[in-house]
Amino acid sequence: MQGLYHPDAKFSDPVFASLNSKEVKAMWQMLISAGKDLRLDFNNIKADDRKGSCHWEAWYTFSRTGKKVHNVIDASFEFKEGLILDHKDVFDFWRWSRQALGLPGLLLGWSPILKNKIQATAASGLQKFMQR
């Protein structure tokens, strides 16, 4: 994943709201190294020189809670110089939070308060990972 992103790349999803190239490369390294039981499946891949999209699914154990997650994601890409310039992943945050967090996600996963807290925790965790 490190070599796929343009130096000016941007990434966003419901957890990592706005990352630059350095951050998105570190995010993938952090997630893949932490995902001891990570399994991925990709399909419906479409791309040309300028843009692309795919559907992908991830199965893993969420490290903070030990709960199993099956995340269903639709990705869109913009390319520049053969590399990913803009990458947006879309998934149902409430569905994800119910799986990853259990009861708190079920009760509050729809709320901007929980989403903001998860985003802040993810951003902080990524910054700590990058400092190491």
Domain 2-123 has CATH 3.40.190.10: no
The reported pLDDT for the residue numbered 2 is 86
Contacts by 121-128 with C-beta closer than 8 Å and gap 24+?
122/15, 122/16, 123/16, 123/17, 125/30, 126/16, 126/19, 126/23, 126/26, 126/27, 126/30
Which pLDDT tens digit goes with each residue over 40-85? 999 999 999 999 999 999 999 998 899 999 999 999 999 999 999 9
Mean pLDDT of the chain: 95
Which pLDDT tens digit goes with each residue over 121-131? 999 999 999 99
What does the block give as tokens for 121?
Answer: 């925790």
Its pTM stands at 0.91
